[in-house]
Structure 1
Amino acid sequence: MLVEENRICNSGKKDAPFFAWPWENFGNYKYLLYGPLIAKVLYSMAGEGNKEDTWCLHILILFVLRSLVHQLCSTYSNLLFLNRTRRLNQQGINFNQIDAEWHWDNFLILQAIVSSFSYLCFPSLANLPIWDMRGTVCCLILHMGISEPLYYWMHRLLHSNILFTRYHWLHHSSKVPHPFTAGHATFLEHLLLCIIVGIPSLGTAFLGYGSISMMYSYVLGFDFLRCFGHSNVEVIPHSLFEAIPLLKYLIYTPTYHSLHHVDPRTNFCLFMPLYDLLWKTINANSWDLHKKICTKTSDRVPDFVFLAHVVDVMSAMHAPFVFRSFSSIPFGIKPFLFPMWPYTVLVMLIMWAKSKTFLFSFYNLRGRLHQTWVVPRFGFQYFLPFAAEGINNHIEDAILTADKIGVKVISLAALNKNEGLNGGGTLFTSKHPNLKVRVVHGNTLTAAVILKEIPQDVDEVFLTGATSKLGRAIALYLAQQGVKVLMLTQSTERFIKIQKEAPVDRQKFLVQVTKYQAAKNCKTWIIGKWMTPREQSWAPSGTHLHQFVVPPIIPFRRDCTYGKLAAMKLPEDVEGLGSCEYTMERGVVHACHAGGVVHLLEGWEHNEVGAINVDQIDVVWDAALRHGLKPLQI
């Protein structure tokens, strides 16, 4: 039975009656269905409507509050740095599940429509008092005595072969429980859920004990408990059940509900395991697993850590614990981000004052756990001289923590390996020569990606940022290939030092230039330093500008083409990846991140810090391709 239900989840039917939502093809235009309610509220506020029309306002307020409940629960579920040791399913949520649950809030629209018809059919509902204690007691009795057992048997019925293959498989297709999974079901199932919710709330009103506060508290409490059960994070201490044994039959836990998704033949209850006890469907492992989760003090040690940093205030809102759907697409500045800017700044100030490096996201590759840790510092801070020591302390603390817990490789992102900050990581390996964790800047693969993008028939390139780590490696590699490199630098001393590193018969291919005008006839530019529009104007029409500058340059020239930052696509067998790395597409990571992955998969024992070993560029590139990483722009 369990194997069969898992198979159905992967190939369920979608053509059953009442499977799809009536507004499924509307996309985000579905929110226009709230238009009549909004219009009626505005009409009433203008003094033209009746006072009884306030019920429309209550429905709209409830929609906002219910959405907020789900969002806050989603945020907590994704705060990995707070709850990683209490997670039930250790697998990450992938893009497929996020896309499937994208319109999780369809049921809120449905219940708003049903509520509207209820008020229209029973106008007395619009005249409820604000508070009535008797209504709260009555609502609880109706819920416990009618809604709970009714839901139990409806749920068991949905697990029958006929209904599961046509409807309920969709809910179980979500492999990792999440608060949004609570709303991920078919139209028919949510019609049935309207009955479950309506019996206590409307029933109490019809009995004469209804109140506005009861309506709000019951509906919001109902949503919270559903999100709570699907949160994938255990929060109820087992000691509470040991002190009050009866309590474990009166309120379910995320652990209890998660077992229903593991073994769908058990734990059918809504919120009260009492009914599973009465009808003998409690999973035998429910309490043992709950105790095990509650007493666990550590989580699985990652094999690889990518140490990232926040770019700016706007990009900070691209974190999975802010908006899961937004983080699953490449970052871009959206209008809805602006109202949140002040709150993000406040969080930023708290992070500066208190926070240490925190766990951001994770995925699995070849059975190895890869995590992203974030240094709580914003991009502009890396260019403040007085902030350098504090940033290095954060990076050093992250490296020592990784070493202590047994991480094999830690890769430094963009500014965390800045040459002027810590010498590309050499500061840490010199200070701690006995580190077991391998520190990697990943620039060798970054150089390889940039070089492999250059067409083989190119015989001349123009290079800015020519004396940086990447610039030096690119120049020396191209010189060895017989490509003339116009190196833009004002420092003759640094140029000569790099030129002498090339073989004697190849030094002639490295040419120092001091002005952009020198490249006015060169159509291959490699940009490692920020450029103004005036500087870009010297590029001849048809030029392609490769780049490794952070942040990337703004494409001012319409008659030129611009490359993106060096990146690679992760292998197809990656699991649990559900967020995009800044502006990268799904499944794509910056080349320095990919370089750390390759370092781990190859099992290399050396630290990749400081200057790039030019002889290793092709070695690292071949290793990346061998392990299934793919270039994007060749």
Structure 2
Amino acid sequence: MDAPLAAWPWDNLGMFKYVLYGPLVGKALYSWVYEDKRIEYWCLHILFISVLRGLIHILWNSFSNMLFLNRTRQINQRGVDFKQIDNEWNWDNFILLQAAIASMGYYIFPCSESLPRWNTKGFIALQILHVAVSEPLYYVLHRHFHRNKYLFIHYHSLHHSSPVPQIPTAGHATLLEHIVLSAIVAIPILGSSIIGYGSISLIYGYILMFDFLRCLGHCNVEIIPHRWFETFPFLRYLLYTPTYHSLHHTEKDSNFCLFMPLFDALGNTLNSKSWEDHKKITSASGENVRVPDFVFLAHVVDVTASMHPPFVFRSLASLPYSPKLFMLPFWPLAFSAMFALWAWSKTFLISFYWLRGRLHQTWAVPRYGFQYFLPFAQTGINKQIENAILRADRLGVKVLSLAALNKNESLNGGGTLFVDNHPNLKVRVVHGNTCTAAVILNELPKDVKEVFLTGATSKLGRAIALYLCRKRVRVLMLTLSTERFQKIQKEAPIDCQNYLVQVTKYQAAQHSKTWIVGKWITPREQNWAPPGTHFHQFVVPPILHFRRDCTYGDLAAMRLPDDVEGLGICEYTMDRGVVHACHAGGVVHLLEGWTHHEVGAIDVDKIDLVWEAALKHGFKPVSSLRNRQISS
């Protein structure tokens, strides 16, 4: 059983907890409609402050997750994993709590409408009360929560359960702690009002600055220059830094202050490494950053998908991508950002994770899916990909894997263009399609006798067709180009060539229940499939799930090994811990220590080799068909 006041009373409400703001909205509307246009402004003030507080935390969170800007100033280099994100999901409970306390406080002290907008004396009184009362009171209580075993285990340990301080960590605490914190916040506000110096701007200013400084301490990015403290030595006792507060999370018996290290100095709890670590991070920014062993070079799929990275909404990025209604108002902003990224044209870091002690990063080319099909844009896109490869080569990256459209055959020959232009590359360029082919082929039923293949003359289509014909599986290859079909057919062993059959219409597949889709097909074309057909696919974007009497596979993907650390972002529509097969193929390339480039045509002889290597390193297939077979 939880300790008293440890759990939040609306824990079971989920997203419906925001309905608790309803009485404030209802009171304001009722007063405006039925009370002679007299608006209950105190309700609006509480609601507006709550919105602004949430916005401050969201913007700080966006900044702290912009790894392409602040990766070199990260204090704790560990990644934020799904467990921490889930634990901190309801970080904004304290805003709702303090809105409720403010509502009750209004009925006790109904003075908001008599407060002036500004009172200079009030700000002076507020600062005196904060320094003389709130800061030392917080220090004493915070220290007591640590020193008292019962209080720490049942209340304060929750806050320290997050291994990497983040903005949501600031609000991740028990109900009792936030009741205590609410009282500390209220002291300067109520005290200034009681002595007659209160004002509306004082309430707004103090609460918002309080949240701003809390976010500063938890942002995990050191942004305060050490030269400030060298020029003004006493300033270090008046304002804490993210490094200072981060030490409290790693070495819990030090640095207990609210915002002013002065009280840690007076209480002899100031960590001796506080200024040394701060100077080390700020003065050596960019010098001691670990070079990743592996880079996955991704790209944005469309405008709405551009809102999926963690620097936009961390919680949204931790779930498989799907369009959400609440994202619609942000679409114009994302659309504008698209042009900004197009103009900026710099590859940026999205996320990272650790596997077997090696750092794996995801970089992104700031190009959207439709831009890859604009003839005039292809030269510029190739230039950006080339720059990313050369940058990785300079850094000492071992393997760089190209995602989806970044290795398009018509764009750069599956990466061949870059290897030919730079024959002395140390970084290995990998398209990962060998692993993609292996995943698709191992999804097929073991007793399959015939498959229908669209996109049959593409890199993947060619490899799949040649592999299956060697297994004596009849492959209906949909293509209008007899020349390209015959070229592939001649690559097959002579005794297997008759298993490759050219077809030019979808009607030819009306009796085949296994479709491998490598080229987008319309619902009308899907109608030629017989009932019970399963659609395997390696086409981007995935085909529509139109037929209710058929089943659809996901894009080729694999689950990462269990020892992955710091992974907190879903790769596009993939589930947690699942990556596209080409991503997995690049990781396998690294783990195996292979020294060849994997570009251009797929080596059919290596498909089984890559598959076995992936399984050996702990990768798991996630095919929907396989899951259904297991469950049945």
- Normalised by the size of structure 1, how large is the TM-score? 0.97
- SS of the counterpart of 1:135? helix
Deviations 1:483-515 (A, max 9, x none): 000000000100010001011111111111111
| Deviation (angstroms), 1:479 | 0.5
Q: Distance in 1 between matches of 2:369 and 2:284?
A: 36
1:169 corresponds in structure 2 to 157
Percent identity between matched residues is 67
2:629 corresponds in structure 1 to none
Q: Distance in 2 between matches of 1:52 and 1:316?
A: 40
1:27 corresponds in structure 2 to 14
Structure 1 runs (4+) deviating above 4 angstroms are 49-52
| Deviation (angstroms), 1:451 | 0.1
| Deviation (angstroms), 1:52 | 7.1
- SS of the counterpart of 2:598? coil
2:477 corresponds in structure 1 to 487
The question of whether the paired residues in 2 share the 8 Å contact of 1:119 and 1:126 is answered with no
The question of whether the paired residues in 1 share the 8 Å contact of 2:477 and 2:503 is answered with yes
1:427 corresponds in structure 2 to 417
The question of whether the paired residues in 2 share the 8 Å contact of 1:87 and 1:232 is answered with yes
2:615 corresponds in structure 1 to 625
- SS of the counterpart of 1:305? strand
Q: Distance in 1 between matches of 2:233 and 2:192?
A: 30
Q: Distance in 2 between matches of 1:311 and 1:383?
A: 12
Match for 1:362 among 343, 352, 358? 352
Match for 1:151 among 122, 128, 138? 138
The question of whether the paired residues in 1 share the 8 Å contact of 2:32 and 2:40 is answered with no
- SS of the counterpart of 1:563? strand
| Deviation (angstroms), 1:125 | 3.2
| Residues 624 and 102 of structure 1, relative CA distance in 2, 3 Å threshold | same
Q: Distance in 2 between matches of 1:50 and 1:188?
A: 39
Matched, 1:577 2:564: no
Q: Distance in 2 between matches of 1:306 and 1:535?
A: 34
The question of whether the paired residues in 1 share the 8 Å contact of 2:558 and 2:620 is answered with yes
Deviations 1:603-622 (A, max 9, x none): 10000000000000000000
Match for 1:497 among 483, 487, 494? 487
Match for 2:525 among 516, 535, 538? 535
- SS of the counterpart of 1:363? strand
1:460-539 matches, cutoff 5 A: 460-539=450-529
1:396 corresponds in structure 2 to 386
Match for 1:552 among 542, 552, 562? 542
- SS of the counterpart of 1:123? coil
| Deviation (angstroms), 1:629 | 0.5
Matched, 1:280 2:268: yes
Matched, 1:381 2:371: yes
Match for 2:126 among 139, 155, 159? 139
- SS of the counterpart of 2:487? helix
- SS of the counterpart of 1:46? helix
Q: What is the letter of the counterpart of residue 86 of structure 1?
A: R
Matched, 1:114 2:101: yes
Q: Distance in 2 between matches of 1:519 and 1:349?
A: 43
| Deviation (angstroms), 1:202 | 1.4
Deviations 1:102-142 (A, max 9, x none): 00000001100111111111112332100011111111110
Q: Distance in 2 between matches of 1:72 and 1:284?
A: 32
Q: Distance in 2 between matches of 1:290 and 1:356?
A: 29
Q: What is the letter of the counterpart of residue 545 of structure 2?
A: P
- SS of the counterpart of 2:555? coil
| Residues 498 and 430 of structure 1, relative CA distance in 2, 3 Å threshold | same
Match for 1:37 among 9, 21, 24? 24
| Deviation (angstroms), 1:15 | 1.1
The question of whether the paired residues in 2 share the 8 Å contact of 1:445 and 1:594 is answered with yes
Deviations 1:201-238 (A, max 9, x none): 11111111010001001000000100110000000000
Q: What is the letter of the counterpart of residue 455 of structure 1?
A: P
Q: Distance in 2 between matches of 1:126 and 1:627?
A: 67
| Alignment RMSD (CA, Å) | 0.9
Deviations 1:185-211 (A, max 9, x none): 000000000111000111111111010
Match for 2:295 among 275, 298, 305? 305
| Deviation (angstroms), 1:77 | 0.3
The question of whether the paired residues in 2 share the 8 Å contact of 1:152 and 1:270 is answered with yes
- SS of the counterpart of 1:218? helix
The question of whether the paired residues in 2 share the 8 Å contact of 1:129 and 1:212 is answered with yes
Q: What is the letter of the counterpart of residue 128 of structure 1?
A: L
Q: What is the letter of the counterpart of residue 424 of structure 1?
A: G
1:450 corresponds in structure 2 to 440
| Deviation (angstroms), 1:355 | 3.4
2:75 corresponds in structure 1 to 88
The question of whether the paired residues in 2 share the 8 Å contact of 1:125 and 1:205 is answered with no
Match for 2:48 among 61, 79, 101? 61
Match for 2:114 among 127, 130, 144? 127
Q: Distance in 2 between matches of 1:509 and 1:52?
A: 79
Q: Distance in 2 between matches of 1:416 and 1:459?
A: 34
Q: Which is further off, 352-361 or 303-312?
A: 352-361
Matched, 1:320 2:302: no
Q: Distance in 2 between matches of 1:45 and 1:79?
A: 43
Match for 2:427 among 430, 437, 442? 437
- SS of the counterpart of 2:353? strand
Q: What is the letter of the counterpart of residue 199 of structure 1?
A: I
| Deviation (angstroms), 1:70 | 0.2
1:156-305 matches, cutoff 5 A: 156-159=143-146, 160-298=148-286, 299-305=289-295
Deviations 1:167-198 (A, max 9, x none): 10000000000011000000000000011100
1:593-604 matches, cutoff 5 A: 593-604=583-594
Q: What is the letter of the counterpart of residue 55 of structure 1?
A: W
Q: What is the letter of the counterpart of residue 490 of structure 1?
A: L
Paired residues in the alignment total 621
Q: Distance in 1 between matches of 2:454 and 2:497?
A: 18
| Deviation (angstroms), 1:157 | 0.7
- SS of the counterpart of 2:54? helix
| Deviation (angstroms), 1:295 | 1.2
Q: Distance in 2 between matches of 1:46 and 1:317?
A: 38
2:630 corresponds in structure 1 to none
Deviations 1:529-575 (A, max 9, x none): 01011111110111111000111110111111111100000011101
The question of whether the paired residues in 1 share the 8 Å contact of 2:298 and 2:365 is answered with yes
The question of whether the paired residues in 2 share the 8 Å contact of 1:443 and 1:595 is answered with yes
Q: Distance in 1 between matches of 2:66 and 2:28?
A: 37
Q: What is the letter of the counterpart of residue 137 of structure 1?
A: I
| Deviation (angstroms), 1:51 | 4.5
Q: Distance in 2 between matches of 1:598 and 1:164?
A: 44
Matched, 1:615 2:596: no
Deviations 1:373-406 (A, max 9, x none): 0000000000000000000000000000000000
Deviations 1:330-366 (A, max 9, x none): 1111001100000111111111111300000111111
| Deviation (angstroms), 1:44 | 2.3
Q: Distance in 1 between matches of 2:35 and 2:554?
A: 57
Q: What is the letter of the counterpart of residue 39 of structure 1?
A: G
Deviations 1:408-459 (A, max 9, x none): 0000000000000000000000000000000000000000000000011001
Q: What is the letter of the counterpart of residue 63 of structure 2?
A: Y
What residue ranges of structure 1 are gaps of 5+ in the alignment? 1-13
